[in-house]
Structures are given as C-alpha cells and as structure tokens.
Amino acid sequence: MSTAETPREPMSAMATAESAFEAKKIKGKREKRTITEVRESKRTGEKMAHMPVSHHSSARWAEMAGVNVAVLGDSLAMIAHGHRTAIPAAIDMMVVHGQAVRGRAKRRQI
C-alpha cells in the first residue's frame, strides 16, 4: 500500500471545523460584516454564507465555520422549545436566545 493509499483515521466534523477556524485565525482577524455590506452583497451578487442559529452550540459552529451572517429567527420556538408553530416566540424568548448566541458568535452578524 503506497502512502497515498494509507488509510487515515477519520477526523470528526468538529475537529475539522476547529482546525480550519484556527488556520483562518492565523491568516488574519475576520471582521463582522455590517448591515450595509450584507445589503450591498445582494446588489453586487457577492455570495455570503448564512446559517440559522438558535442556541450557544450552533452559534459556536457558525463562528468556527466563518459564516457571514448568523440568523436568529422565531422558528427557535419550534426548534428549541418544541412548540408546534413559531407564534409563541415572545420577545423575551428571543432576547434570551439572542444573548446566548451573541456570547459565542462575537464576530458574526446576528
């Protein structure tokens, strides 16, 4: 078996994301996109990565992956709280989840 064919131990998705995140940190600090930049990207056709986040862990994944915009929506009432619709998502609920997400995704536009 040649070196190219030597089986490697599979990396977990989290380990792969963390190593990619660390590599990007070395190249330079990634800045949070502004609302103006997000709006302008639609006009210019620039591709941006958006990811729905509803809790601390998903915000961490978005941060490690370098997602441009972390989307926190009322669907968290269904995802995180088990409601059948998003209607029960009160502003208090959104604030609590927003604080948890912001605590972990400091360089993402929420």
List pLDDT tens digits, range 14-51.
454 445 445 444 445 557 788 898 899 989 999 988 88
Report which DSSP code applies to 30.
P
Residue with tokens 């604080």: 99
pLDDT at residue 21, as a whole number: 46
The predicted model scores a pTM of 0.57
Where would I find the beta strands (DSSP E) of 1-110? 50-52, 69-71
Q: Give the C-alpha separation, 87 to 110, whole Å.
A: 21
Q: Give the C-alpha separation, 82 to 92, whole Å.
A: 17
pLDDT at residue 40, as a whole number: 92
Report CA torsion sign: 73, 77, 79, 80. positive
User: Do the Cβ atoms of 78 and 85 come closer than 8 Å?
Assistant: yes
Six-digit token pair at 104? 């972990």
4: pLDDT confidence band, cut at 50, 70 and 90? Answer: low
Average pLDDT over residues 91-98: 88
